[in-house]
Structure 1
Amino acid sequence: MAKDAEGLDRIDRSLLRLLTQDAEQSYADLGRAVGLSPPAVHERVKRYKATGRITGVVAQLDPAMTGKRFLAFIHVNTTGWGKSEALMQIEELPEVEEIHSVTGDTCMIVKVRMESTQAMEALLARLYALPEVISTKSYVALSTYLERPVQPGISDITHRPDC
């Protein structure tokens, strides 16, 4: 079976896609879906974990059920460019879900989730206490229409040049 540039074949992409939808599926169910025996699926999943393709299996929590309905993205401008030990103290803050170094008119984007605007204000105060933080710009999410894990392979949607 042909493998793509990432070393995945069609079955690998299908298995990974199924696992991102529900990682609790049995190897037998996964095998039926992709045409493999349960032991063959188990071996592939072991390989994905061993090679770092699967980095962990976690429960996705409902933010509303955990009291963390407030989602925001904070653009952070710093004195330097790139990651520093002092700046990476941000990852210790429990409200922080993601930190990205980006191009454009800001240095990094931080995804945060918390209980309230008061919690956001306290978080911003902690960010400004870091010596490298110059300024921030916050964007509060009003609604989330799509939030999903990384998807393997290329899209199943065919793009036509006339669209």
Structure 2
Amino acid sequence: MAEEKTDGVRKTAGTPRALDALDRKILGALSRDATLSYAAIGQDVGLSAPAVHERVKRLRASGTIEATVARLDGAAVGKPLLAFIHVDTEGWGVTTGLLALQEMPELEEVHSSAGDTNLILKVRVASPKALEGLLARIYEVGCVRATRTYTVLSTHLDRPVQAGTTQNLAEGGPVK
């Protein structure tokens, strides 16, 4: 029997392990400040630095931690105007033309949505004139039927995905 080549086959670890309270605490610390050392996180959550390191490696391998990135200040990089654009398209789904929009550095997020619009775009631009130019480029995509733009006046909460969960508040449970 010939030996099967498996060099390019990714090994699966089976069912991913559910996050426990320590994983959530580690993720919470990292989501607040990804530059924290494993020793500092360990002090916060009650583990040794090597134990935190192993858990972080496992969280990366499982895809729970997708990336470690620097969050940039929009105004500091010349893009103080934040807006959300609801895009109505002909038909359903994302077309190659719409996918090409993601190459624009002004686009931060593109979401397919249910409800009264097909797509929601989160964009950051230098000025109202730059927003107008971006809208013109969006309308150049053949399937775009209409847009509604919502400019942000001020932001009261802007944070990444949180690992904590809200317990049943109706019963007076704790918020973590």
Establish whether TM, by shorter chain, passes 0.5: yes
In the superposition, the TM-score normalised over structure 2's length comes to 0.85
Give the gaps of 5 or more residues in structure 1.
none
User: Is 1:159 paired with 2:169?
Assistant: yes
1:107 is aligned to: 118
Give the Cα–Cα distance (whole angstroms) in 1 for the partners of residues 65 and 20 of structure 2.
16
User: Is 1:61 paired with 2:72?
Assistant: yes
1:79 is aligned to: 90
Q: CA RMSD in A?
A: 1.6
Structure of greater Rg: 2
1:24 is aligned to: 35
Aligned length: 157
Give the Cα–Cα distance (whole angstroms) in 2 for the partners of residues 42 and 99 of structure 1.
33
Q: Letter of the 2:116 partner, please give it.
A: D
Offset, 1:86: 2.0
- The correspondence of residues 79-158 of structure 1 with structure 2, limited to 5 A, is 79-155=90-166
Q: Letter of the 1:81 partner, please give it.
A: W
**Runs in 1 of length 4+ with deviation above 6 angstroms?**
none
TM-superposition CA deviations, 1:34-82 (whole Å, max 9, x none): 1111011001111111111111101111111111110000000001211
1:38 is aligned to: 49
Give the Cα–Cα distance (whole angstroms) in 1 for the partners of residues 39 and 132 of structure 2.
49
Give the Cα–Cα distance (whole angstroms) in 2 for the partners of residues 161 and 26 of structure 1.
37
In the superposition, the TM-score normalised over structure 1's length comes to 0.91
Offset, 1:153: 3.4
User: Is 1:14 paired with 2:14?
Assistant: no
Give the gaps of 5 or more residues in structure 2.
1-15
Q: In percent, how many aligned pairs have the same letter?
A: 51
